[in-house]
Amino acid sequence: MIGAQRRAAILDALRRGTVPREGLGAFAVGMERFEAAIDDDLAAVSGGRGGFKAVRGEYGSGKTFLARWLQERARGRGFATAEVQISETETPLHRWETVYRRLVERLATSDMPEGALRPTVDAWFYTLEEDVLVEGRLGPSDTDALAKATEALMERRLASIARTAPAFSAVLRAYRRALLAGDLALAEGLIAWLAGQPNVAAAMKRAGGVKGELDAFGAMHFLAGLLTILRDSGKAGLVLVLDEAETLQRMRADTREKGLNALRQLLDELDAGRYPGLYLVLTGTTAFFEGPQGIQRLSPLAQRLHTEFATDERFDNPRAPQIRLRGFDLDALATVGRKVRDLYAEQAGDPSRLLSVVDNTYIADLAKGVSGRLGGRAGVAPRLFLRKLVADVLDRVDQFSDFDPRRHYAPTVDDREMTQVERAAAGVNDVDDIELDA
């Protein structure tokens, strides 16, 4: 049974045509194929290993859905998670300092949906204090001695990070001292610098013993430091999703090559054990993994990610470096529609009427109708289908006692509500209707 607040958030997201951040297990379809392998990976990563999984599939196959389903599953197992969309202007893959900044901004835990860095750091210092107190040499009233012992323990825990990125421990040390001194403004500025934020005041950086902005080299080491803090504060690890990697294909040649090389380097670092507790998930289209403008341009990367997909989909290996998502067919579309309908019924004014009016047959007909307006391509239809099911059908049935979708509603697909891929499926009649990537 899902809570009322989470249920409302799910339905609101579906009304907008977006993937909910949580509660995806309530209407997931097809994820059971990957559950055992994903759980095994998470268990291995929580034991101190690094892990990687590439998810490939066409538009509408559910890559973002699977990524968020995986993150929610991981948070339930004690992981922190972050999702970063690869973008040429905001988060190019080779600008790791930008990727790291977005990672920290979206850092989430089971009790903090975003921006979890500062609570995690505070929890870590609390844990360090507890570890010092357990030794029995100091009491809680020995404030100064406890602060010094906690700082010394921090230095020992971060010794390997400090050798390559001394700024990481220096800023944490200054942050801790600012908190103890009650200087909250300085503490905020230092945690912002640690998060990779630009434009931190020079005075605050001087107080932290650092200067300039965080660069790509430093960000790679800061990630290792973040993993140490997460582990010491009781987290199982970090799941990092790099979403929409296929955007690399549309970038300038030099930017694309740098991005692919940065990905290869990150995988090599994972294999070398430099990021214990990191589970990296990469999503992209089949063209990105197989086409000439994707990973095939960098042979060492293509070799690491190569997975055989010549056999029947039923025999795909979920333990392989890559997993592929099957596109939705009408049966799968109707199945997810029924799950959403049942979820909606839990908060409907008259559940029995809603279930009767929006029965399984109607949902199957709606799925067929929406996909039919997209050229019969059910794999492209899930977003629009669920949006229309919730906003155009279920909401009206719930609010208007005489509304009958079979008599009062005919599903239409407006050009203005479609994405570029959906328009391509539906077919456009006017060249001005075609969206192009700038």
Full set of structural domains in the chain with CATH = 31-109+235-323 (3.40.50.300), 117-219 (no CATH), 330-426 (no CATH)
- Please write the tens of the pLDDT for every residue from 184-236: 999 999 999 999 998 889 999 988 888 888 888 889 999 999 999 999 888 99
> Which pLDDT does position 372 carry in this prediction?
79
CA distances from 76 to 61, 110, 274 (A): 24, 7, 25
pTM, entire model: 0.84
Number of H helices, E strands in the chain: 21, 5
| pLDDT value for 437 | 38
Give the bridge partners for 147, in sequence order: none
Q: Is the pLDDT of residue 432 over 80?
A: no
The tens digit of pLDDT for each residue in 143-153 reads 788 888 888 88
Average pLDDT, the chain: 87
Contact 149, 143 (CB under 8 A): no
Mean pLDDT, range 280-291, rounded to an integer: 93
Pick from 277, 190, 180, 192: which is nearest to 235 by CA? 277
Alpha-carbon gap, residue 366 to 373, rounded angstroms: 11
- Kindly report, residue by residue over 73-102, the tens digit of the pLDDT: 999 999 999 999 998 888 888 899 999 999
Tokens 């991005």 -> residue: 259
Read off the pLDDT of residues 313-371 as tens digits, 9 standing for 90 and up.
888 899 999 999 887 788 888 999 999 999 999 999 999 999 999 999 999 999 888 88
User: Bigger pLDDT: 423 or 256?
Assistant: 256
pLDDT band at 378 (very low <50, low <70, confident <90, very high): low
Average pLDDT of span 404-426: 77
Enter the DSSP assignment of 350: S
Residue-wise DSSP of 202-253: HHHHHHTT--S---HHHHHHHHHHHHHHHHHTT---EEEEEE-GGGGGGS-H
- pLDDT attached to residue 88: 84
Backbone conformation region of residue 110, classed left if phi is above 0, alpha if psi is from -120 to 50, else beta: alpha
Specify the range with the lowest mean pLDDT, choosing from 79-83, 242-246, 325-329, 428-432: 428-432
| pLDDT over 70, % of the chain | 93
- Considering just the CA atoms, what is the radius of gyration of the chain in Å? 25
- Residue 297: helix, strand or coil by DSSP? helix
Is residue 292 scored above 70 in pLDDT?
A: yes
How far from chain centre, in Å, is Cα 231? 19
pLDDT at res. 434: 36
The angle subtended at Cα 313 by Cα 311 and Cα 319, nearest 5°, is 90
For the ranges 162-166, 194-198, 285-289, 348-352, which has the lowest average pLDDT?
162-166
69 burial via Cβ count (<10 Å: 0-12, 13-18, 19+): buried
pLDDT score for 32? 87
376 pLDDT tier (thresholds 50, 70, 90): low
Neighbour-count burial of 159, counting CB atoms closer than 10 A to its CB (0-12 exposed, 13-18 middle, 19+ buried): exposed
